[in-house]
A and B are shown apart, each in its own frame.
Chain A
Amino acid sequence: MRDTLRQRLGWLHTWIGFVTGLLLCVIFAGGTLAVFNTEITRWMQPENSRLPSGLAPSPKALEAARQNLETLRAQGKQPFLSLPSVRDPVLRVLQYDGHEFVGPALDPIDGQRINVRQTVGGQLFYNLHFTLWLGRDWGRRVVDMLGLAMLVGILSGIIIHLRLLLPDLVLFRPFAARARAWLDGHILAGVFFLPFIVGITYTGVIIHAAAVLPDGAAIHRQAGPMPTALKTPQALPSLTPMLTRAEAEFGAGQIGFFLFNPHHISAVRADGASFLMTRDEAEFRYEDGAFLRHVKHIGATTVLSQGFRGFHFARWTPLPLRWLYFLSGLGGTLLIASGLVLFLMRYRRRYGNTISFCLAESLVIAVLVGFVVAALGLFWTNRLLSATLASRVMWERNIFMAIWLFSLLHAWGLVLAKRAMSAWRQQLLAVTILGMGLPILDILTRSSWTVLLGRNIFCAIDCCALVVGMSAKAIHQRLNAPHQT
């Protein structure tokens, strides 16, 4: 009876894992990179690398930001103002362009516009993570459904492996037969990152649960900070007294951004202020900037929802914990990736010559290796494209997509020509070159690299790229070994 249950669950785990795993792998990889989305954006804007972190905005800078905001509002746009934080030291006047939040960065001391290049930055991975670029409504629906499938996959995986969970807890045999080594890796990642994977998937599903409920997407849209455009935008009062008043409510340095709603201005509590992502706000009048009220979101359900958001978005985390989130996300990505590889291994002998298997293998190559090539390609594109290029954000986004699409076509062509291993090898070689070359590119294209050498985000991202490149090289060498063909 028990074996029958395990066999049936095995079938469910295999198929639900593969069908949803391709997209789940992208979602997990995107989310993992989005843990450091602000830092990635900073890497992609090396012009502001000299600014120290954690400076409070001066009255002069806030006045300059106000003028920028008024100019954009007069053009019929709906900007908001992001205040400096420890992670991002500049004032940003942002607006949503349909895909990313873009806009100028201002020096928090004198309000001068920092001549930073426009970039998709880490926001690209963040959007990919929670909408798969399918639009706000459909994207959330699809990602939420995939999250539910992930929970089913996790549950079935736990039941299948339950008997050997404790005895084989730390068992990993990378030098055994390939299928055994991959299965050990799959189980290892699944077991040790289980608390994180279950937690992050569950909270992700719950946060956007409304998207899959009847009329839920519409509710989501109404609840979001998307005010309708005003025909004649009102003049903005001085921001400094409002910030001072809001800080009196929430504490110094605890304000994240200013929103300009149709009927009032909101100074919103920073997401990183505490574990609970409260989005409490202080509201002010447009006419004179007078304080209207303090909006606190309270109640058991609300607090629970804030806790889910705090867990998932991780904006409250100190740096070491942020790295643990990153590594755990990587663990989740490896879990799904190893599952996809195991699927191919299992069915290669019987169905290896069929078109459907070729399609499956090329999709796996494009997701596992092609995504990394495209992500590293984005970093290269960011530095190689002219900093003053018009529609730069669009160029970066399109080049990222083009590289990824090319990776899929490259894999598809070689797999159809019965040269699947060549597809793996060539794309791994691309990862090796792009990853190991990124630190050199960074040094060559960033004037201040000698000043900031040491503990900084540039160094961290370069080191990560180097590790990715070296890992790809190691896998490439292993695939090149004679018995692996």
Chain B
Amino acid sequence: MKEFIPTIVLDGAPLWAFITWVIVLSAHAIQQPKICRLLGYNGPVPSGLGKLVLLAAPLMSLALCMTAGPTAGIFYWCGTFSLAGVVTALGLACLQSHR
């Protein structure tokens, strides 16, 4: 399995997992009326297939993290979730302040 994945993806698995989490959490945020109100966001929100992708994305990132080994993979997955959550929240807070 590993040999079919490009090296840049394998070596940067935690980074990709982090980016995936940021996207998923940002998409989750714009589905919340309270956050949309704070941001003044009226744009499109994920629905149907988009929601399915958002549900599948964390599983994909888990699979990617697992390439670092099952134990380390779980730790990377959870750790990047925590970090991405904080980064997303800070990013949204910055957007709020700009507004």
Q: Which residues of A contact B (CB under 8 A)?
A: 167-175, 188-189, 191-193, 195-196, 275, 317-318, 320-321, 324-325, 327-328, 331
Contacts and interface: CB of A to CB of B under 8 A. Distances in A.
A411 B96 CA distance: 35
Nearest to B68: A318
Contacts of B97: 174-175
Q: Most chain-A CB neighbours within 10 Å: which of B14, B72, B78, B79?
A: B79
Interface stretch (B45-53, B54-62, B80-88): B80-88
Given A170-B29, A318-B72, A321-B72, A328 B93 contact: no
Contacts of A192: 81-82, 85-86, 89
Given A175-B97, A275-B71, A324-B76, A169 B85 contact: yes
Contact of B79 (A167, A173, A175, A324): A324
Interface residues of B, number: 29
Given A320-B14, A324-B75, A171 B83 contact: no
A172 B34 CA distance: 11
A173 B93 contact: yes
A175 B94 CA distance: 9
A321 B80 CA distance: 10
A31 to B, nearest CB: 16
A191 B25 CA distance: 13
Contact of A188 (B80, B83, B85): B85
A170 B75 contact: no
Nearest to B13: A320
Contacts of B81: 192, 195
Contact of B82 (A168, A170, A195, A318): A195
A321 B79 contact: yes
Contacts of B76: 320-321, 324
A435 B42 CA distance: 43
Q: Most chain-A CB neighbours within 10 Å: which of B38, B83, B85, B97?
A: B85
Given A170-B92, A275-B71, A324-B14, 6 more contacts: A168-B32, A174-B97, A175-B96, A192-B86, A192-B89, A324-B80
A171 B82 contact: no
Q: Most chain-B CB neighbours within 10 Å: which of A169, A172, A173?
A: A172
A39 B87 CA distance: 26
B9 interface: no
Contacts of A175: 93, 96-97
A318 B83 CA distance: 17
B75 A321 contact: yes
B94 to A, nearest CB: 9
A176 to B, nearest CB: 9
A331 B86 contact: yes
The 10 tightest CB contacts between A and B, nearest first, are: A324-B79, A192-B85, A172-B89, A275-B71, A170-B89, A192-B82, A195-B78, A172-B93, A170-B29, A170-B88
B23 to A, nearest CB: 12
A102 B47 CA distance: 61
B35 interface: yes
B25 A169 contact: yes
A243 B57 CA distance: 47
B26 to A, nearest CB: 8
Contacts of A193: 82
B82 A328 contact: yes
Contacts of B35: 170-171
A263 B29 CA distance: 63
B82 A196 contact: yes
